[in-house]
Every structure is written in structure tokens, then in C-alpha cells.
Chain A
Amino acid sequence: MKAVIGLVFFAFVISQAKADAVSDLLGHYKSQGAAQFSPATGKAMWTKAFIDPKTGEKRDCSLCHSENLKRQGKHAVTGKIIEPLAPSANPKRLTNVEHIEKWFLRNCKWTFNRECSPQEKGDFLMMMRAQ
């Protein structure tokens, strides 16, 4: 019985730790000067097209992640399947601070040709979490 309680408690701690990744990051972005976060702004930025200066290609987030975050996406260059970003469709998403930051850095650079601001990243996270 003790073991079961311990296991339940352990699972609870783990799930809390995971759920906290977004809150932690939002707090971190606020401390970097971000204002109130808006899922609507995140959504608008998601499908806004940017022209890559080197290749002249049109790029936006949905190119690889699809417009519907609950669906699988496809890597624009390699064709590799990318699992859904929406936590409701893919519970593993938005659970690891390091992972989120790594891909914000890589993908903002690729799509917008610059890093995203803390405000933009917060808006994206709010939008994704709402899915």
C-alpha cells in the first residue's frame, strides 16, 4: 500500500514538473521584459510568411508543423514526420524547458532569419498550450 501511495505521489510530482515547463518559461520571459502574452498574436505570427534572404523561399511555421497544431507536420526539406505540437494531441510537448528553448532558437532563425523575442516566444507558448 505504501508503495502504491509512493508511486502515485511520484507520478504526481513528475506530472507537475512537466506542466510547469511553460509556466517557468513564461515567468522567465516576463523577467526579460515581456508584457502580457496573447495566443491570438502567436496564432497570427504562426502563419505569417517570411522570405528567406538566401534562398528567396517563402517560410512560415506551418510549413513544417502544419496549420493545425493537433496534426502531424512534415519537415520542409527532409520530409521527416514531425509529431503534433499541441499538448492535447501529443502529451510529450511543452514539457522540457531545454527542448523548447533549443527549438525556438533553431526554428526562429530558420523561419524569420533572426531569434524570437521573449514576447514572441511567450505568445507562441500560450497559443500552443491553448490547443
Chain B
Amino acid sequence: MTPEADLGIFAISVAAGLIGALAGVGGGILVIPALTIGFGVDIHLAVGASIVSVIATSSGAASAYVRDRMTDMRVGMFLELATTTGAVCGAMLAAVVAPAFLYVLLGVILLVSAGAQVARLGEETPPTDPPSSLAVRLRLQSSYPDRKLGREVSYSARRIPLGFGLMWIAGVVSGLLGIGSGVLKVLAMDVAMRLPIKVSSATSNFMIGVTAAASAGIYLARGDVDPQIVAPVALGVLAGALIGARLLPRISSRSVRLVFLPVLVAVGLETIGRGLGFGL
């Protein structure tokens, strides 16, 4: 890598970390296309770089989110059961699935998440219904301080089995593509389990590091983690994530979704095009 390329990768990684911390995605979902399309990095090395940077985003942002009571640690730990086992299955599949297929799958994930963002643009907090007996038994109900609304927001998890199943799939995708599959985690908590979007985002951030760590050892042993590429990515993503973690409690859910919608659509389409063999 030339110093110019290092600087370019660092700058893109700062943006990816900032966006990742706010949206609950590790930033890897933007880092992979940037490295492969922008800098001609081999897909396997790009996946290796992103899985490491996902852990940096997760731990960096989560350190603030846990302290600020944005993260629901019980929801996080319960769903990590599903994501870690899924991630192991996905990482074993990665060796036998073709890169072109990985691109298309990554693109579809982005577009699906963009659709869900549109559907929920007008909603600041989910409707409050009495908690289900399963939510009570598993203690998946809590509250968080919303600094934008200036009050404590109570919530309880719905459709817990569906959320758990989606989380397993999110884990498989994570292991397969090397991304934290944060978009799928946020979707599972936001759309399926009806948790507030900020709690979904912060809890997703808390979880993606563990999901990534479950398969990171496999990528490391395979020689997919190249410090020449990973170092500027990890440092940039971390800086961006620390900024994003300060912003999330203070902005509206609507602004979070509005910032990322065009990014998700653009990168999703670009990545699918790449997978289908159109040079970009």
C-alpha cells in the first residue's frame, strides 16, 4: 500500500466507523466494497480486514453505550447465543461459496435493510403494549434515557422466538461475509422484536464484536488478516465509532435513518453489480 492509499483507506474507515456506530452496523459493510472496488483489494483480505474493524467499532462504541444505558445487556447476551453459533456455521461455509455469490448476497442485505428503514421513518419510539409472559420470564424489558426526547423510554421485547431465529441467520451471514451483519441484527430487534431503534442500534453494536470474534480466529489462521490493510482500517473505524457513540443518544431516530438510507441503497446496488460481473 502507498501512503496515499493508506490515507484514503483511513479516511473511508473513519466514515464507516461513524456510520457504523450510529446504525448498529460494524462499518465492515461499507469497508468491504470500499477496499475491493476502491483499492482493488482481494475479497478475502477485505473480508478479513472488515471482521477485525467490526470488533474495533463494536468495542469502541459499546464502551460508551453500556455506560450510557443505551445497550440492553440482557437482550444482547440472550441473542448472542444465536449469533455466535450461526457465525461458526457461516465461517465454515465461506471456504466453499464463490466470491461473486458473496457480493450479490451482501448487496441484497443492504437493500433489504434500506427498505425497512423507509418503513419506519416516522416512528420515534415503538408502541407500548403490556409485556408478554416470555419477555417477563427472560427479563427482556427495560428502559433507556433518550436525550433527544428528554425522557426515560420504557420497552419490552416482542416475538422473541422470531427474533432469536433471525439472529441465527444474522450470525451465519456474519461468518460467511466477514461483516458484523449489524443490519440484520438491527432489523431483528427493530422490526421483529419491536425494541426502540436506538436500543436496537446500541445493542447490535454491543453484539457484533462477539459475533465477529467467534469467526475471527478462523480468518486469522487462514491468512485473511493482513496488517498492512487492517491497521489503517482498524484505526480509522475506531476513531469514527468513538465520535458516533457520542452522537446517538442526542439525535432523533429519523435523522439516523435519513443519513444512511442513500448510502445503503447506493452501496447495495453497486455491490450487486460487482457480483453480477459489471465493472464499476
- Tell me whether A and B are bound partners: no
List the interface of chain A (C-beta within 8 A of B): none
- B-side interface residues toward A, CB under 8 Å? none
